[in-house]
Structure 1
Amino acid sequence: MEGLLKLKRRHFNALVSSLCALAAAGSLGSALAQAPANAAAPVILVVGDSLSAEYGLKRGTGWVALMAASVAKEKVKARVVNASISGDTTSGGRSRIAALLAQHKPKWVVIELGGNDALRGLPLNMTRDNLATMTSLSREAGAQVLLLGMEMPPNYGAKYAQEFREVFTTVAKAEKTELVPFFLKGVADTTDPTALFQNDRIHPNERAQPTMRDNVWPELRKLIARR
């Protein structure tokens, strides 16, 4: 991950087992709808992992909750549903997406998955196929999609880091959907990236959440404006 130059690989590997445990236990983090002012408003569905599920954060302080506040403040006719699960992979997202689309009938879908695939050493072609399928199913259901790109640190190998980065650009191009190239821009690529991370040095802390929101909301706002 280009932006995680100063984070050690052991910090990633140390968390894999705990993320797996969370997923197996069904830890939903923040898999709840943000309280809507208008229950009939079109839905923004966020499907992500611990980065979006408020892992280690006080409820209501994560970037998804902050984005929901921006939606309300700017009087955008939409409501946010956070269907993120700590420890989730693209395979998990793929298995859940059809039911989520049927239940919430979203007009916009934000997909923030893939990081845990890399941490577990899953094949990149599988990650790419899962993201493409989730995007395709969302578009077929009438939703516009915003894909959030992730990166791996170069100590995973420059070739692997590049190929992982290209998974997101390839899917976005093939599926003709929008992309935030690096979801953690301004968080993991700072002079002292650890300052914006929790003690595990993997999960962004509360101070980082507004930046994460600002990486997503302007791009999503453009999609909403088009509609």
Structure 2
Amino acid sequence: MRWLSFLLVLTFSLQAHSLQAHNVRLLIVGDSLSAGYQMSADQAWPSLLPQALQKYNRSVTVVNASISGDTTGNSLARLPQLLQQHTPDYVLLELGANDGLRGFSPQIPEQNLAQMIDRVTQSGAKAILMQIRIPPNYGKRYSQAFSSIYPKLSEEKQIPLLPFFLEQVIVRDEWMQSDGLHPNEKAQPWIAEWMAQQLSPILASAADTGLSSS
């Protein structure tokens, strides 16, 4: 009986350690597109993402540090404290739209994002970048210069680049708020599922190797 009890305790301990090792912490640093603009936080896609990722056998704790209206400069200033507080395994940067809407020189978000990526890497986490695009009424030259920041940084820093989810949402009027810029609550489940599909292969390396900062 003692041996049986020992084996049961050992099995439970190993299972608990395995579950802990496979839980990945993802920090999302973004703007209103991730903060859940004009809706409760639990309706926003980052809150729905863990459940969506379970379909891909990914156990992920998501910390959503997105703030509506944030520029890359705002988030750069917040990042050191966020990294220290949450010790993430991965950091998703969904930033730049507010820089573009304010007409900042593309060099500003490029430099800020580059610094953010470096700080994420220095912390021991892995950075993931999302492509951001701005409305075409800002002019073709500016829009192209702005959009090119993201593939350039992805290549230079050797980090994954995710497509811009808003491009898939904005074509459906019923998924957009009246301002024409922000997805509404109806779009959030779809965004979560789409993001899970994009993130699953990236997070696989952490899950399969047992990477965790917990």
Select 2:134's aligned residue among 147, 152, 162. 152
Secondary structure, in 3 states, of the residue corresponding to 1:51?
A: helix
Residue in structure 1 matched with residue 210 of structure 2 by the alignment: none
8 Å Cα contact 1:180-1:215 kept in structure 2: no
Amino acid of the structure 2 residue aligned with 1:84: S
Taking the TM superposition and a 5 Å limit, the aligned residue runs for 1:42-53 are: 42-53=24-35
What is the TM-score when the length of structure 1 is the normalising length? 0.76
Larger radius of gyration: 2
Residue in structure 2 matched with residue 118 of structure 1 by the alignment: 100
Distance in 2, matches of 1:42 and 1:213, equals: 17
Distance in 2, matches of 1:105 and 1:58, equals: 25
8 Å Cα contact 1:124-1:167 kept in structure 2: yes
Post-superposition offset of 1:74: 4.9
Is 2:74 aligned against 1:92? yes
Taking the TM superposition and a 5 Å limit, the aligned residue runs for 1:68-107 are: 68-72=50-54, 74-107=56-89
Deviations along 1:73-124, one digit per CA (max 9) or x if unpaired, are: 5553331101011110100111111111111110011111100001111121
Select 1:199's aligned residue among 171, 174, 178. 178
Post-superposition offset of 1:72: 4.7
Report the count of equivalent residues: 188
More moved, 50-59 vs 122-131: 50-59
Deviations along 1:14-46, one digit per CA (max 9) or x if unpaired, are: xxxxxxxxxxxxxxxxxxxxxxx97x9431000
C-alpha RMSD of matched pairs (Å): 2.1
Select 2:149's aligned residue among 167, 174, 177. 167
Distance in 1, matches of 2:194 and 2:128, equals: 12
Is 2:188 aligned against 1:216? no
Distance in 1, matches of 2:165 and 2:107, equals: 21
Q: Which runs of 5+ in 2 are unaligned?
A: 1-18, 207-214
Amino acid of the structure 2 residue aligned with 1:221: S
Q: Which runs of 5+ in 1 are unaligned?
A: 1-36
Secondary structure, in 3 states, of the residue corresponding to 1:103?
A: helix
More moved, 121-130 vs 204-213: 204-213
Deviations along 1:143-171, one digit per CA (max 9) or x if unpaired, are: 12211111112221111111111011111
What is the TM-score when the length of structure 2 is the normalising length? 0.80
Distance in 1, matches of 2:164 and 2:36, equals: 19
Amino acid of the structure 2 residue aligned with 1:81: V
By percentage of residues, which structure has more helix? 2
Distance in 1, matches of 2:196 and 2:56, equals: 11
8 Å Cα contact 2:37-2:68 kept in structure 1: yes
Provide closer, same or farther for how the CA distance between residues 100 and 135 of structure 1 changes in structure 2, counting only shifts above 3 A. same
Amino acid of the structure 1 residue aligned with 2:204: A
Distance in 2, matches of 1:105 and 1:211, equals: 28
Distance in 1, matches of 2:111 and 2:192, equals: 27
Is 2:46 aligned against 1:67? no
Secondary structure, in 3 states, of the residue corresponding to 1:55?
A: coil
Is 2:101 aligned against 1:129? no
Identity %: 37
